[in-house]
Copies of this chain bind each other. A is one copy, B any other.
Amino acid sequence: MIATMMDVPLSLNHLLDRAGKIFSNNLIVSRLPDKSLVRHSYGQYHRRTRALASALQQLGLKKGDRVATLCWNHHAHLEAYFGIPAAGGVMHTLNLRLAADEIGWIAADAKDRFLIVDDILLPLYRQFAGLHAFEKVIVFPFSGAPVPDGFVDYEALLAGADPDGLQYAAHDERDPTSMCYTSGTTGRPKGVVYSHRSTVLHSLVGCLGDVWDLKGTDCLMPVTPMFHANCWGMPYGAVMMGAKMVFPGPHLHADDLLDLMQLEPPTLSLGVPTIWMSLIQTFEAAQTGQPGRWKMPAGMRSMVGGSAVPESLIRAFAKHGIALQQGWGMTETSPLATVSYPRAELRDAGADEAFRRAAMAGTPVPLVDVRICGEDGREAAHDGKSPGEVQVRGPYITGSYHEVPVSPEKFTADGWLRTGDVATMDELAIMRITDRTKDLIKSGGEWISSVDLENALMAHPAVAEAAVVAIPDPKWSERPLACLVLKPGQTLDRDDLAAHLTRHGFAKWQLPERYEVIAAIPRTSTGKFWKLKLREMFPR
């Protein structure tokens, strides 16, 4: 017997046309380099995106060809999200925070044919132009200045195109739509290639009430760069639901974001913890210095991920009526794998317990299988204590890397992705990341979680940020070193910190061996603590 269902492929083109037909009056707002705002309706967005697709086909784009973007967060980048796949191409978002030679290497590795670049990023482009020859460089006149000679003008290209005559490239749902390179703290960056299928499934899972809860009445402010795992996939979801979007452009400083929130109050946003730490510090400083300058957009939810979210940060925002919601994932997982949300089982557990759970990585989302594999290779007990490597599997999880042989370091024999993160899972299947496998500290034969120490240290009133790494120790093999960024006017008091950690339940042998004050914690281009650098700073 066979099912009688239609054989209709999952497709980004469906989401695009849906948005154009149903939500034509809703708005997409972008902040320009001069900080003014430009508004497009979804109707205009739909036409411009189809024009882009038509123009790319006219330029000779063939099925599967890569079109790179080197852009901030704005409407034209969103046009690329749907327009490049509509033409049959694969959007490859280049990370503008990487070193220029690394960007060039990545563009060459991906064999990008065309590039769409913000005019204000041309100086960066010129630094790596010698490393990879794009056939066409299309310049988006983001600043409004004329596009220099020798480049294709994005706006002229769209103006000369025929959105009505566009024929979508025929595709199977498993055909590629976009690619991102992993941040690669070790080894060369590697490409992950998403498909129509994976992107649509990820959007459906993401918009669920217990995940992002993204509705058509939302106003989404994507602070996470659109070159970080496709802005965590949220722009696709926003287009699917027809939600208003407010893009911050290149203006990601805390005061700029607070200004933008006054002009266009978001109901939903997303970003790494660093952004939100900086935002709350700036906001609270202004409350004494310049009271009334800003209001927090009360009722806003914010997805926070990319690195662990300290409970203290969640509590700080909760005071202003803002719910920080933690998610966990990586470029390889599209990225949504777990999310922290109110569980029915904890309805009567009280606020402290709710905050404690909110500071965890959360519950596996639908379609994603998550297992914690202990050192013996078996699945660890769901007891909240037994750590193991996080392994994942699902229709939007990568099963390989672009043109890289599948290695047992990255994939298990039974086909699960080895994430390199270490976690425990409790009886409600709520996951808590305790470490990266390579950041684990083994002291006297026992594991110490650097993430637990960091979270507890960041709850101390003198500490702005904390990163803990292992230092070699002749007796214990490894011991924890805490690198601290202090809040303004604070000084280091080792005894007080040790007492604070003891109150948080750490045993004596788990306490940091050393504390070092540093000006800033080195970070990777995606905002994660760069522990390799820290270990280099404090070799012993």
Where the two chains meet, the residues of A that have a C-beta atom closer than 8 Å to any C-beta of B are 1-10, 14-15, 18, 21-23, 25-26, 64, 66, 90, 174-177, 191-195, 197-198, 200-201, 204-205, 207-210, 213-217, 240-244, 341-345, 347, 363-364, 366-367, 369, 382, 393-402, 415, 417, 428-429
Contacts and interface: CB of A to CB of B under 8 A. Distances in A.
A484 B5 CA distance: 39
A5 B210 contact: no
Contacts of A205: 204
Contact of A3 (B3, B23, B198, B344): B198
A197 B5 CA distance: 9
Contacts of A23: 344-345
A425 B286 CA distance: 50
A45 to B, nearest CB: 15
14 contacts: A3-B197, A5-B193, A5-B194, A6-B395, A6-B417, A8-B395, A9-B395, A18-B364, A21-B382, A22-B428, A25-B428, A207-B209, A217-B344, A217-B347
A198 B22 contact: no
A158 to B, nearest CB: 25
For A15, A201, A216, A369, which residue has the most chain B Cβ atoms within 10 angstroms?
Answer: A216
Contacts of A382: 21
A366 B15 contact: yes
A377 B45 CA distance: 29
A213 B6 CA distance: 26
A243 to B, nearest CB: 8
B208 A2 contact: no
B364 A22 contact: yes
Given A210-B216, A210-B241, 4 more contacts: A2-B193, A4-B191, A6-B415, A23-B344
B5 A398 contact: yes
A7 B210 contact: no
Contacts of A2: 174, 176, 193
A224 to B, nearest CB: 20
Contact of A176 (B1, B26, B177, B243): B1
B25 A345 contact: yes
A516 B47 CA distance: 53
A403 to B, nearest CB: 9
Contacts of A200: 367
Given A209-B208, A369-B14, A398-B6, A22 B215 contact: no
A311 to B, nearest CB: 22
Contact of A394 (B3, B6, B369): B6
A492 to B, nearest CB: 43
Which 7 A/B pairs are nearest by Cβ-Cβ distance? A3-B195, A6-B399, A204-B204, A22-B429, A1-B64, A3-B176, A209-B215
B215 A4 contact: no
B194 A3 contact: yes
A383 to B, nearest CB: 14
A448 to B, nearest CB: 29
A213 B209 CA distance: 6
A363 B90 CA distance: 31
A257 B338 CA distance: 37
